[in-house]
Structure 1
Amino acid sequence: MRYFTVFLLYLFSTTVFAQENTVKGVIVNDNNFLPIWNANIVNTSKVRGAISDANGNFEINAEVNDVLLISCLGYQSIEVRVTNDWIKNRTSRIKLTEKAYALEEIVIPPYTLTGYLEVDSKLIPERENYWYSIAGLTKRYEGGENSPNAFSRVMGSLFNPADALYNFFGKKPKELKKLRELKKDDNLRNILQTRYDRQTIYAMLGINEKELIEILERCNYSESFMKSANDLQILDAVSGCYEEYKILKKN
């Protein structure tokens, strides 16, 4: 009976340690050590998110060696790896450095307006992106600006997925599986809705700016979308393209 009890205790302890740990921390300004409110904490390994409170405190699910991307408007973003000591001590103080901003010159475009809406609306050039629908797929595709090869680019990328997208999607199956986890964490989705710097995307998918642009181009998203979309929209776009890539490649 004694051995049976010991065995049960061993199973219980193994189960507890196998569960996902929670780590806590406080984010402060490295200059004056004041707490930083509303900082974003993203576990790029587990696809989880958290936001620091008014006292700079946060709590997030993480395991040893998980990477946390910590960022806040006006501060330089940093990546922090979860260590055994952090798990053991349960909390850690993290310092962020303020960014130094340089004001850029503002250029006013040379449009001479008459004051009449009907006339002025024709003087300002308009960028128009065209969309295409493909039978069998629910999503419409952006073909970019009106050009002779816009439709051919859409069709070429769709029906040659192995050639067009394998170099990106075929080599990163583990990273791309994280995209499905986005739907499970409302905190992370709320964070990404307010971000436009793509740093979380680079860290989560293990890609750089050039590769992200090429992926979106291959998936036929326009330049205006790439510049104006927030990080959540970008990740949703990549996720949708990846799911359709798998379907087309399988077929």
Structure 2
Amino acid sequence: MKKNFLLLFMVFLALPVLAQEETPEMQEGELKAVVLNAQTGGPLESVHVINLNKVVGTITNKKGEFAITAAVNDTLYFSYLGFKSQKVRVTNDMFRFQETKIALTELAYALEEVIITPYQLTGYLEIDVRNLPINTAYQYSISGLPTSYEAGNKNPSAVTKVLGAIMNPADLLRNLFGKRPRQMRKLRQMKEDDDIRDLLASKFDRETLQALLQLEKVDIDDILSNCNYSKSFITTANDLQILDAISSCYEEYRILNRGN
């Protein structure tokens, strides 16, 4: 009897300890850390830090320090020009010590020979205009519709594509977004965060958008193509313009979906 009582007493003593060990798993709040150059060990200023789970962002100060809202198991995305982007999973220790150091590795660029062919301008407007490349993206406006539709090359199939999307848009957009509700819900959050918008405005590689939306580049291109954006826009627009384009198309899908 005494042995059973002693065992029970020890179990009760162990419960508070177990509770303390489990508590960090639920930690959430302001996380502080420092971003360093892996080669030199020096701090990196103006590194963009994004919490991919909460869709909030910030940048590092002159000392490489940053603070961001996070929880255990959130994923932080680090992006800095000339350095390899990196994802870091938030752990209990990062909250406990608040002195975590994240090192980014500098990219090594091998410069190859580049041949630049300038436009041969003659000074005569009529001749020079014919020599300059022409943007083959065309937009079609239809009376009664508030926005125009970009359809790429000017040919009959392009017009048919636009009209098909307008006459039967629900099916097209449902195929694009119906299987990605969680990713698409992040669009509005991304547009509302100034730090994320500033980062996307300077990017053209779709890498950050892929991380935020959990999509492959080919999926992003497919969405834009089926939303009637031209190939020239898809290949030349910055990531912020791409975000706005996807968001606009998704909002159209939501309106059409509510009507069904």
- Alignment TM-score > 0.5, same fold: yes
Secondary structure of the 1:50 match is strand
Distance between the aligned counterparts of 1:201 and 1:57, measured in 2? Answer: 24
Alignment map for 1:193-204 (pairs within 5 Å): 193-204=201-212
Cα RMSD after superposing both structures: 2.3
- Point out where structure 1 has 5 or more consecutive residues left out of the alignment: 1-16
| C-alpha distance in structure 1 between counterparts of 2:174 and 2:215, whole Å | 14
Q: CA deviation at 1:118?
A: 2.3
- The secondary structure found in structure 2 opposite 1:23 is strand
Q: Secondary structure at the match of 2:156?
A: coil
- The alignment partner of 1:203 has SS state of helix
**How far apart are the structure 2 equivalents of 1:185 and 1:125?**
36
Deviations 1:41-90 (A, max 9, x none): 11111110111111111111111111111010010001111112212323
1:47 aligns with 2:51: no
Q: Where does residue 27 of structure 1 map in the other structure?
A: 35
After superposition, where does 1:172-251 map in structure 2 within 5 Å? 172-251=180-259
SS at match of 2:49: strand
| C-alpha distance in structure 1 between counterparts of 2:118 and 2:202, whole Å | 32
Distance 1:154 1:107, change over 3 A: farther
**1:129 counterpart = 2:137:** yes
Task: Give the AA of the match of 2:226.
Answer: R
Q: 1:110 & 1:56 partners in 2: Cα distance?
A: 41
Superposition deviation, residue 157 in structure 1: 2.8
Q: What is the aligned counterpart of 1:57 among 65, 79, 97?
A: 65
Name the CA distance, whole Å, in 1 between partners of 2:188 and 2:29: 21
Higher deviation after alignment, 19-28 or 173-182: 19-28
Report the Cα distance in structure 1 between the residues aligned to 2:72 and 2:249, rounded to whole angstroms.
32
Distance (whole Å) between structure 1 residues aligned to residue 255 and residue 226 of structure 2: 16
Instruction: Structure 2: give runs of 5+ residues left out of the alignment.
Output: 1-24
Per the TM alignment, residue 136 of structure 1 is displaced from its structure 2 partner at its CA by 6.0
2:83 to 51, 75, 79: 75
1:110–1:181 distance in 2 versus 1, CA, 3 Å? closer
Letter in 1 for 2:50: V
Q: Which amino acid aligns with 1:22?
A: E
Q: How does 1:147-166 map to 2 (within 5 A)?
A: 147-166=155-174
Q: Following TM superposition, by how much is the alpha carbon of 1:130 offset from its aligned partner in structure 2, in angstroms? A: 1.5
| Identity of matched residues, % | 47
Q: Contact 1:23 / 1:91 at 8 angstroms: preserved in 2?
A: no
Greater Cα radius of gyration, structure 1 or 2 = 2
1:67 and 1:81 in contact (8 A); partners too: yes
Q: Distance in 2 between matches of 1:156 and 1:109?
A: 40
- Give the letter aligned to residue 51 of structure 2: N
**Which residue in the other structure is 1:114 paired with?**
122
How many residues are aligned here?
235
